[in-house]
Amino acid sequence: MTLSIIAVIAVTGAALGIGTYGVKLARTTSDLFVASRAVSPWWNAAAISGEYLSAASFLGVSGLMLKFGASALWLPVGFTAGYLTLLLFVAAPLRRFGSYTIPDFAEARLPAPYMRLLAAGIVLLISGCYLVPQLKGAGVTLRAITDAPYWVGVALVSLIVALNVSLGGMRGVTYVQAFQYWVKVFAIAFPALLLLIHLGGLPARAALFGEEIPRADRAMVIELDAPRPVTFPDTGETRVVSRVELARGDAFPVAEGIDAQTGDEWSRPVAESGRGSPILIYSLLLATFLGTMGLPHILVRFYTNPDGSAARRTTVRVLGLLGVFYLFPAVYGLLGRAFTPELYVTGDTDSVVLRVPAAAWPGPMGDILAAIVAAGAFAAFMSTASGLLVSIAGTVSHDVVPGKARKRRTRFRIVSVVGMLPPALLALATPNVDISVLVGWAFALAASTFCPLLLLGVWWPRLTASGAAAGMLAGATVATGMIAAGLIGDVSQETAAGAILTQPAAVSVPIAFAAMIVISLRRPPQNVSAVMAALHVPEPVSP
């Protein structure tokens, strides 16, 4: 416990310190120049991966895997494969074009005054949506290591990130972000590998792969923070309890929204219905494949590449770096089912990564590993939350409120404090929604707004401003409408209908593309040959 707290404080302190002093270190300072040397694709790729690996990757994937089984592993597949579409269709043309943000691209590609404002609005929507799960990760982590109530972590981290960004720390310095990637990989891989070595491989439990549901291996008592309905799989009855007593061999009851699955069901990536149903998987894959290119804090990083081919090289390296990272959440999911099945009772599956080390290796070594993981989780959501808040504040102070460039600093500061409020409140309002599901919404929004804008904007000369605006509005309203309907209707994920409401990309993305194409075809496009040339003509060989 104390070790974890110390580790978290150290990481937070280091992050703040790097923000203030590291900026100077990370610059090439020299008596004479090495300054005009560009950032290499490896550094850039590590920086992009560092910015990208958020609470959803660090905590959410393992949590969702524990909860629903191997079908949750489609999520990291999509998270990584999104860079493939980015690589194939967007990275190089966008870098050649030179635009720094999506509002810049939208306004330059489709010269209409409202395009910038509309794109800026959607940037705010997506960033806000993506911030919520980061703050949720903070609440979960702090609760897991200190037993503080959920809201304490959310409030504390919101405050730290907002103050830090507004005071100018944690800026998007490439070398700092690249370093963050290696911190996160170490924090998730090192404990996982040591645990596997200590255990001598994966525990051979029937609940993992066989025909068994998780059963208590000793008598235990599980306290719930409030009376909740739990279902006892042996009898099939559901009772509202605040404390569960289990004898050796009793099956673990499950909280609301979780199914008691046998090991066989749990380890199968595709199922007939529910979380593993093909419709939900396809919807999720569509959202992540196409949504990655629309994440504002990621696209900004591609600006640092000197040219289009460097942008491509960077993206290939990102694919590799993310692939390495995503090997490990699955390890925590498997170990969690063997060692921390009490999370099925509490429903707090998002904290599995934090609880596994101490449960699987009791004693000081487990505590040390738990501290490393907790520190990594903190690094994950602190850096992503900062990146998102910077893009929110930058968008508001640059695109939404026009004004003098030199006054922008002040506006940026105010917005970065105020802009943190809505996501923080949303995070407090949705304590029971999984981190990965929340992130899925941000991806769905990006996939049904910016993805069609970028894909058609780059590759289809006939796209018009009114078409793009209509498509983005249609995609955004359908996606948010369905998510809201799912939330208000409180649907179960077990039905296909509920599944599509929790992940609306399969519906909203085609609608957005269709609206964009149909409305664009109604009018002839402006003269776009110069813009298309800027996007597609390769750079001349530099002198």
Q: Under the rule (CB under 8 A), what is the footprint of another protein?
A: 24, 26-33, 35-39, 98-101, 104, 107-108, 111, 171-174, 303-306, 390, 394, 398, 404-406, 408-409, 412, 470, 473-474, 477-482, 484-486, 489, 491, 495-498, 500-501, 504, 507-508, 511, 515, 530, 534, 542
Residue 143 vs 398, nearer CB to another protein = 398
In angstroms, give the least distance from the CB of 502 to another protein: 10
Please provide the size of the chain in residues: 543
Tokens of 259: 């199914």
Tokens of 511: 């609608």
CB count, 10 Å around CB of 443?
A: 31
3-state secondary structure of 228: strand
3-state secondary structure of 347: coil
Residue 175 vs 326, nearer CB to another protein = 175
Distance between CA atoms of 319 and 341, rounded to whole angstroms? Answer: 33
Q: How far is CA 321 from CA 44, 192, 378, 508, in A?
A: 11, 17, 20, 30
- Is the separation of the CB atoms in 474 and 255 below 8 Å? no
- Is the separation of the CB atoms in 457 and 463 below 8 Å? yes
In angstroms, give the least distance from the CB of 508 to another protein: 7
Residue 49 vs 80, nearer CB to another protein = 49
Tokens of 176: 């700092």
Place of tokens 């309907």: 485
Residue 156 vs 491, nearer CB to another protein = 491
Residue 238 vs 526, nearer CB to another protein = 526
Residue 262 vs 477, nearer CB to another protein = 477
Helix (H) or strand (E) holding 319: helix 308-325
In angstroms, give the least distance from the CB of 285 to another protein: 18
Distance between CA atoms of 134 and 355, rounded to whole angstroms? Answer: 19
CB count, 10 Å around CB of 237?
A: 10
In angstroms, give the least distance from the CB of 297 to another protein: 11
In angstroms, give the least distance from the CB of 147 to another protein: 37
In angstroms, give the least distance from the CB of 468 to another protein: 14
Residue 235 vs 526, nearer CB to another protein = 526
In angstroms, give the least distance from the CB of 182 to another protein: 18
Residue 228 vs 408, nearer CB to another protein = 408
In angstroms, give the least distance from the CB of 289 to another protein: 21
Give the torsion through C-alpha atoms of 444, 447, 448, 454, to 10 deg.
160
- Is the separation of the CB atoms in 433 and 145 below 8 Å? no
Strand order from edge to edge, sheet including 220-231: 238-246, 220-231, 254-255
In angstroms, give the least distance from the CB of 99 to another protein: 5
Residue 124 vs 371, nearer CB to another protein = 124
Distance between CA atoms of 248 and 131, rounded to whole angstroms? Answer: 42
